[in-house]
């Protein structure tokens, strides 16, 4: 049996947790309908009250769906759900994994499912429960481009930025890991800033308000992600002047912050590393001997 040629996909969703539940709630509006599965009956009841149908197992979910989204805890749970779905999914169906799993797991699942005519897309999400509830998730999809194009209208019910990260299963996860590297390194840098401010007698709650205010205007760390390469910038490139200015301003302010930290006895290892690496990272390294 193959899936219907009708473009109205029957959606399935497995994993109705903190993000899965509000994301699945957005899928209730799908023209082909939504069937859900979770081990928590309360979560299932919330979705059926909103208009979804309930499946009593991954197998019955697979039988009722053309595209199944999975949002469970880890690689092992994803594998368990796929094992349950695969015998009943029709050839031509799609599995879309929203859990952040190892890229190798995505590749392995894609190869296994391809033997049954089922396409696996890894599609991790960014934006959290609030983004899911508001339909404002960023969804980074790795895998076959034609399958991505087919799945995109359904995914757009829950995300306002759907990106094809690459043709290989696992590419969505690779993009998500790079995104989250920035996220958590930035969080660690935030703790350094808080330690410096606290040691200097500054109210760190007020500092937080200032940071959130100005990041909303400037775009925060992502504001410099404007180029399609990390190579050094040619002197005649438009971005050379822009990033030279960012480098000069950044190094000046980092030196002043580190001087303050030294005077207060506060260790800022990320700050020191930033002063060392900023210029090269921006693509405008200083010539030897320049300061």
> What is the signed CA dihedral for 148, 136, 5, 144, rounded to 10 degrees?
10
**Residues carrying an active site annotation:** 176
Q: What pLDDT, on a 0 to 100 scale, did the predictor assign at position 2?
A: 44
**pLDDT tens-digit readout, 75-99:** 999 999 999 999 999 999 999 999 9
How remote is the C-alpha of 254 from its chain's centroid? 30
Closest CA to 92 of 117, 116, 68, 115: 117
CA separation, residue 287 to residues 39, 284, 290 (Å): 60, 9, 6
The per-residue DSSP string of 151-170 comes to HHHHHTTTEEEEEEEESSTT
In whole angstroms, give the CA distance from residue 118 to residue 97: 13
Closest CA to 3 of 119, 110, 81, 176: 119
pTM: 0.88
Q: What pLDDT, on a 0 to 100 scale, did the predictor assign at position 6?
A: 45
Q: What pLDDT, on a 0 to 100 scale, did the predictor assign at position 31?
A: 94
Q: What pLDDT, on a 0 to 100 scale, did the predictor assign at position 1?
A: 40
Q: What pLDDT, on a 0 to 100 scale, did the predictor assign at position 8?
A: 87
The structural domains of the chain, ordered by start, are 11-169 (3.40.50.720), 175-282 (1.10.1040.10)
Q: What pLDDT, on a 0 to 100 scale, did the predictor assign at position 287?
A: 81
The residue ranges of the chain whose pLDDT is under 70 are: 1-7, 288-291
Q: What are phi and psi of 183, to 5 degrees?
A: -60, -50
Q: What pLDDT, on a 0 to 100 scale, did the predictor assign at position 3?
A: 45
Residue whose pair of structure tokens reads 């969703």 in the numeric block: 13
**pLDDT tens-digit readout, 20-53:** 999 999 999 999 999 999 999 999 999 999 999 9
Q: What are phi and psi of 151, to 5 degrees?
A: -80, -25
Q: What pLDDT, on a 0 to 100 scale, did the predictor assign at position 288?
A: 64
How would you classify residue 222: left for phi > 0, otherwise alpha for psi between -120 and 50, otherwise beta? alpha
């Amino acid at each position: 049996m193959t899936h219907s040629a009708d473009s109205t996909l029957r959606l399935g969703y497995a994993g109705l947790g903190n993000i899965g539940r509000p994301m699945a709630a957005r899928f209730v509006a799908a023209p082909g309908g939504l069937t859900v599965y979770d081990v928590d009956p309360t979560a299932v009841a919330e979705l059926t009250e909103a208009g979804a149908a309930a499946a009593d197992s991954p197998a019955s979910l697979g039988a009722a769906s053309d595209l199944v989204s999975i949002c469970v805890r880890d690689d092992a749970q994803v594998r368990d759900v796929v094992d349950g779905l695969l015998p009943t999914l029709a050839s031509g169906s799609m599995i879309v994994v929203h859990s952040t799993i190892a890229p190798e797991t995505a590749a392995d699942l894609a190869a296994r499912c391809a033997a049954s005519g089922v396409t696996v897309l890894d599609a991790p999400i960014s934006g959290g429960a609030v983004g899911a509830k508001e339909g404002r998730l960023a969804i980074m999809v790795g895998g076959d481009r034609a399958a991505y194009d087919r799945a995109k209208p359904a995914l757009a019910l829950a995300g306002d930025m759907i990106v094809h990260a690459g043709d290989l299963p696992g590419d969505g996860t690779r993009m998500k890991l790079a995104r989250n590297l920035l996220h958590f390194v930035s969080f660690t840098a935030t703790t350094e800033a808080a330690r410096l401010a606290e040691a200097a007698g500054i109210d760190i709650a007020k500092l937080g308000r200032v940071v959130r205010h100005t990041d909303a205007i400037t775009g925060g760390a992502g504001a410099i992600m404007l180029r399609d390469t990390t190579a050094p910038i040619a002197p005649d490139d438009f971005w050379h002047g822009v990033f030279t200015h960012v480098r000069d301003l950044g190094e000046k302010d980092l030196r002043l912050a580190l001087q303050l930290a030294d005077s207060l006895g506060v260790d800022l290892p990320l700050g020191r590393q930033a002063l060392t690496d900023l210029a090269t990272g921006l693509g405008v390294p200083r010539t030897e001997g320049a300061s």
